[in-house]
Amino acid sequence: MHTTTVGIIGGGPAGLLLARLLHNAGIDSVVLELRDRAYVEQRQRAGILEQATVDALRAAGAGARMDAEGIPHDGIELRFGRRAHRIDFPSLTGGRSVMVYAQTEVVKDLVALQLAEGDRLLFGAEVTSVEGADSDTPVVRFVHEGREQTLSCDYVVGCDGFHGVTRDSVPESLRTTYERTYPYSWLGVLAEAPPVYDELVYAHSERGFALASMRSATVSRLYLQVPNGTDPADWSSERIWDELDARFALDGDPGWKLERGRVTSKAVLPMRSHVTEPMRYGRVLLAGDAAHIVPPTGAKGLNLAVADVVVLARALARWRETGGTELLDAYSDTCLRRVWRAEHFSYAMTTMLHTGPAQSPFETKLQLSQLERIATSPHAAAELAENYTGLPLPR
């Protein structure tokens, strides 16, 4: 049997950052990741980092490459009614902004630090069960390199995502689930093409939502609203580019077209909202997607995971230093306040910008009215900007 202070299930950004924060606090941990290193480092996810996430990565010692290669953004552009309006973040938030830096790169940075300086990180470790959540030493059972093994811990943290085993190891009678499934998905595309604009563009159109983001000066990340169940193979490169042109079109520039390039990957992403309460069961705690999912419109998924583990690392450090559990006892309530704020913002952005399959003209007028309000009211724009750049982490 292996032993450690904190067993971390899941080697994505939440689990890896938690391990790094615990290492910096002198607390040992073991990270168990189901997939191999190559898969983990290539897993495409969000690329927008809130100010608090940027600050947390820097404080953890994982910000050097992000600062060198990330792309700071001071705003976004909203397109609706074939017009464009920019939201300036610093002027509306007291100076806050966001950073475009892909989750794949965050993970690469954290993996390299963990392997060079941190405690054990086991790839290809399949967790089969978590036992003894209500005991002083919960146990994680897993298979690694063909052998069944056990890990005895003081605390277990599930950072293993929406489909992980940690949440399901807790009896349903002890947890409550809140969820919503949306009647559309995103077709996500990576393309060897320069960005549409030097900031993100969110477009509302009668044809459906579109988003233009970027990975670098030569690689674009693009999204199209599509019906649930869409097969990416049905979308040729020409069809993708034609639809993007139509949804980003502006009356003031009728000849405007995106600069096209080779589409290197495409996948359909479902849209859902999901929260599990509480986020702690005895000595088993949930963080990131294991506890909550948001639709990607608000760019909150990765940032919520970072906020969770920052709060949790502080709580574990307090416990190690003083024996006190007051911060651990407050962990779930502390995180859920931020989670529900992000759920609301993500829901509002999603329903404001997407066209439902049975949407009425009345509903479309309501969307356009809200977008117009944001474009003309500093107070409405500030509400969007403050939520988008991220609320301060709890102290």
List, in sequence order, the alpha helices (H) in the chain. Answer: 13-24, 37-42, 51-59, 64-69, 89-93, 103-117, 165-168, 237-248, 301-322, 326-353, 361-376, 378-389
In the residue annotation, 388 being an active-site residue is answered as yes
Residues contacting residue 90 through CB under 8 Å, at least 6 positions apart: 74, 96, 97
Contact 290, 162 (CB under 8 A): yes
296 is catalytic: yes
- Catalytic residue (choose from 184, 296, 331, 354): 296
**H or E element: which one contains 28?**
none
SS3 218: coil
- Paired with 30 in beta bridges are 7, 120
352 sits in which H/E element: helix 326-353
Quote helix, strand, coil % in the chain, to nearest 5: 40, 30, 30
Set 23, 204, 266, 300: catalytic member: 300
Question: Dihedrals φ, ψ of 47, to 5°?
Answer: -135, 15
Judged by DSSP in three states, 149 sits in strand
DSSP code, position 233: G
Catalytic option among 13, 23, 73, 138: 73
Three-class DSSP category at 258: coil
Catalytic residue status for 73: yes
Name the catalytic one among 202, 223, 281, 331.
Answer: 202
* Per-residue exposure over 66-77, b if at least 16 CB sit within 10 Å of its own CB, e if not: beeebbebbbbb
User: SS3 for 232?
Assistant: helix
Tell me the catalytic residues: 73, 202, 296, 300, 388
